[in-house]
């Protein structure tokens, strides 16, 4: 498995109005499939993690998101 790209996306929590940061990492598997790892929260007790299987088109969309669109895969 190879890491293709990673980024940190800042956000403001709607309930507490505190700032935070989510991590997004795109991996490519040996068979050519793509995995997107999403992690929010800085403390282990409140962290949410997700792994999404992406096809080539979705991986390209993620890679080419503009700055104001980053974080869209959390919705």
Indicate the domain borders of the chain: 2-68
Confidence band (pLDDT; 50, 70, 90) for 68? low
Q: What is the DSSP letter of 43?
A: S
3-state helix, strand, coil in the chain (%, to 5): 25, 45, 30
11 vs 63: which has the higher pLDDT: 63
pLDDT computed for residue 34 by the predictor? 95
pLDDT computed for residue 75 by the predictor? 55
Confidence band (pLDDT; 50, 70, 90) for 71? low
In whole angstroms, what is the distance from residue 26 CA to residue 6 CA?
6
> pLDDT, tens digit, for every residue of 20-52?
778 889 999 988 899 999 887 665 556 678 898
């Amino acid at each position: 498995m190879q890491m293709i790209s990673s980024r940190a996306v800042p956000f403001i929590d709607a309930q507490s109005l505190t700032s935070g940061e989510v991590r997004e990492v795109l991996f490519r598997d040996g068979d050519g499939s793509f995995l997107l790892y999403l992690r929010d929260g800085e403390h282990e007790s409140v962290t949410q993690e997700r792994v999404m299987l992406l096809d080539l088109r979705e991986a390209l969309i993620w890679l080419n998101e503009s700055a104001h669109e980053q974080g869209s895969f959390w919705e």
